[in-house]
Structure 1
Amino acid sequence: MRARSDFLRRLRAVRRLRISLRGWGGVGAMAVVCVLAVAFVLLLPLTQSRGEAGADLGGQRTTQGVQARAPKCDESTIQNQSPAPSDAGGTTIDAIKARGVLKVGVDQNSYRWGYRDPNSAKGDLAGFDIDLVTAIAKNIFGSAYTDKSIQFLAIPTNERIPAIQKNRVDMVVRTMTITCKRAGQVAFSAPYFVTGQQVLAPKVSSITGYNDTLANKRVCSAKTSTANDSLNADKGKKIPASVTIMDPVPNQLDCLVKLQLGEADAVVTDGALAASQAAQDPTVELKGSPFTTEYYGVAMNLKATDLVRRVNRILETYRTSPSGWRASYTKWLLPTLRADSKSANPPVPQYK
Structure 2
Amino acid sequence: MRRDRFRRAVTGASVILTLGLATIAGCQPEAAGPPSVDELLRQTSIWQQPTLRIGVAANEPLMGEIKDGVRSGFDVELARYLARSLGYTDESDVEFVTVRTDERIRFLLAGHVDIVVASLSYTEERAKLIGMAGPYFVTNQAFLVPKASAATLRTEDDFKEKKVKVCTSGSSTTEDELTRRGFDRSVVQDLQDCADGVRSGKYGAMSSDKTILAGYYSQHPQDLSYVQLPFGADERLHVGVSINDRALRDLIAYFLKKSYDEGRETGASPWLTAYNNTLGAWYLADVDDISQPEPLDVPDLVDHDDKVSPR
TM interval, short-chain normalised: 0.7 to 0.9
For 2:309, the equivalent position in structure 1 comes to none
For 1:184, the equivalent position in structure 2 comes to 128
User: CA offset at residue 349 of structure 1?
Assistant: 3.0
Distance of 2:100 and 2:185 partners within structure 1 = 20
Paired residues of 1:199 and 1:266 also in contact (CA < 8 A): yes
User: Higher relative contact order by CA 8 Å / sep ≥ 6: 1 or 2?
Assistant: 2
Q: Deviations over 1:110-169 (max 9, x none)?
A: 111111123xxxx2101111111111111111xx62121210011111001100000000
Match of 1:294, as an amino acid? Answer: E
Match of 1:134, as an amino acid? Answer: R
1:89 aligns with 2:29: no
Q: Deviations over 1:282-313 (max 9, x none)?
A: 20111134523111000111101010000011
Distance of 2:211 and 2:191 partners within structure 1 = 12
Distance of 2:271 and 2:286 partners within structure 1 = 16
Match of 1:195, as an amino acid? Answer: T
Aligned length: 254
Structure 1: gaps of 5 or more residues: 1-83, 236-242
Tell me: CA distance 1:207–1:277, structure 2 relative to 1, closer, same or farther (3 Å). farther
For 1:79, the equivalent position in structure 2 comes to none
Tell me: CA distance 1:329–1:340, structure 2 relative to 1, closer, same or farther (3 Å). same
Tell me: CA distance 1:295–1:233, structure 2 relative to 1, closer, same or farther (3 Å). same
Residue 229 of structure 1 is aligned with which of 144, 169, 176? 176
Residue 294 of structure 1 is aligned with which of 235, 240, 249? 235
**Identity %, equivalent residues:** 26
For 2:256, the equivalent position in structure 1 comes to 315
User: CA offset at residue 96 of structure 1?
Assistant: 2.3
> Which secondary structure does the structure 2 equivalent of 1:172 belong to?
strand
User: CA offset at residue 268 of structure 1?
Assistant: 1.3
1:99 aligns with 2:99: no
Tell me: CA distance 1:207–1:274, structure 2 relative to 1, closer, same or farther (3 Å). farther
1:266 aligns with 2:205: yes
Paired residues of 1:85 and 1:313 also in contact (CA < 8 A): no
Tell me: CA distance 1:159–1:209, structure 2 relative to 1, closer, same or farther (3 Å). farther
> Which secondary structure does the structure 1 equivalent of 2:145 belong to?
strand
Paired residues of 1:108 and 1:115 also in contact (CA < 8 A): yes
Distance of 2:290 and 2:35 partners within structure 1 = 23
Match of 1:244, as an amino acid? Answer: D
Match of 1:253, as an amino acid? Answer: Q
Distance of 1:100 and 1:201 partners within structure 2 = 45
Tell me: CA distance 1:117–1:232, structure 2 relative to 1, closer, same or farther (3 Å). same
User: CA offset at residue 97 of structure 1?
Assistant: 4.0
TM-score, normalised with respect to structure 2: 0.76
TM-score, normalised with respect to structure 1: 0.67
Higher share of residues assigned strand: 2
Distance of 2:155 and 2:56 partners within structure 1 = 28
Structure 2: gaps of 5 or more residues: 1-33, 263-267, 299-311
Distance of 1:138 and 1:188 partners within structure 2 = 19
Tell me: CA distance 1:315–1:268, structure 2 relative to 1, closer, same or farther (3 Å). same
Match of 2:179, as an amino acid? Answer: N
Q: Deviations over 1:21-63 (max 9, x none)?
A: xxxxxxxxxxxxxxxxxxxxxxxxxxxxxxxxxxxxxxxxxxx
Distance of 1:126 and 1:116 partners within structure 2 = 6
Distance of 1:280 and 1:174 partners within structure 2 = 20
1:166 aligns with 2:115: no
Q: Deviations over 1:88-114 (max 9, x none)?
A: 425663x42422111011011211111
Who wins on radius of gyration, i.e. which is larger? 1
For 2:98, the equivalent position in structure 1 comes to 154
Paired residues of 2:253 and 2:295 also in contact (CA < 8 A): no
Tell me: CA distance 1:187–1:305, structure 2 relative to 1, closer, same or farther (3 Å). same
Paired residues of 1:201 and 1:287 also in contact (CA < 8 A): yes
For 1:73, the equivalent position in structure 2 comes to none
> Which secondary structure does the structure 2 equivalent of 1:96 belong to?
coil
For 2:224, the equivalent position in structure 1 comes to 284
User: CA offset at residue 86 of structure 1?
Assistant: 7.0
Distance of 1:342 and 1:296 partners within structure 2 = 18
Distance of 2:89 and 2:281 partners within structure 1 = 31
For 2:308, the equivalent position in structure 1 comes to none
Paired residues of 2:215 and 2:282 also in contact (CA < 8 A): yes
Distance of 2:115 and 2:152 partners within structure 1 = 37
